[in-house]
């Protein structure tokens, strides 16, 4: 099963199931419902006109437990980067994170560089 992300803003994202033949080579994931486990590993949501702020709720260890790559580059995201994302158990399998070309009003939080934060991250 795959998931397609529909959104008017990143905070109000809703996911719907779809047959694999309707998915591009860049499958998407259900980000909104933290109580559901994400069935896929890599999400490229670059250049999708996504606006809003990055939700703290994604730091919940059950929200995106299998996520290894997340690209939200080239959207219209704004606000500050969530401090909660740096918690040791938030993104345990994430190896690549691309938030470039957005409208964030802060630099990387110091907490993002602490031991335990993003333990498998190799590219930011």
DSSP labels for 73-106? Answer: TTSEEEEPPPGGGGSTTTSTT--EEE--SSEESS
Chain CA centroid to CA 3, Å? 14
Token readout for 47 is 């250049």
Q: What is the rounded (10 degree) CA torsion for 83, 35, 14, 54?
A: 0
The pLDDT profile of the chain, 124 residues, written as one tens digit per residue, is: 333 343 333 333 333 333 333 323 344 444 444 444 445 578 888 999 999 999 999 999 888 888 899 999 999 999 999 999 999 889 999 999 999 999 999 899 999 999 999 999 999 9
CA 15 → CA 12, 38, 51, 71, 76, distances in Å? Answer: 10, 11, 16, 17, 20
Nearest in space to 13 (alpha carbons), one of 26, 28, 40, 32: 32
- What's the whole-model pTM score? 0.69
Give the pair of three-digit tokens for residue 30: 């259900």
The predicted pLDDT at position 105 comes to: 94
User: Residue 8 contacts by C-beta under 8 Å, 6 or more apart in sequence?
Assistant: none
How many Cβ atoms sit within 10 Å of the Cβ of residue 90? 21
- For the chain, helix (H) and strand (E) counts, in that order, are 0, 8
């Amino acid at each position: 099963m795959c998931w397609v992300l529909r959104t008017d803003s990143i905070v109000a994202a809703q996911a719907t199931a779809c047959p694999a033949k309707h998915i591009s080579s860049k499958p998407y994931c259900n980000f909104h419902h933290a109580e559901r486990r994400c069935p896929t590993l890599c999400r490229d949501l670059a250049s999708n006109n996504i606006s809003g702020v990055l939700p703290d709720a994604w730091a919940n260890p059950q929200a995106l437990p299998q996520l290894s790559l997340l690209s939200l580059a080239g959207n219209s995201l704004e606000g500050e980067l969530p401090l909660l994302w740096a918690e040791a158990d938030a993104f345990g399998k994430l190896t690549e994170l691309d938030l470039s070309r957005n409208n964030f009003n802060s630099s990387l939080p110091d907490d993002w560089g602490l031991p335990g934060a993003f333990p498998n991250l190799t590219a930011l």
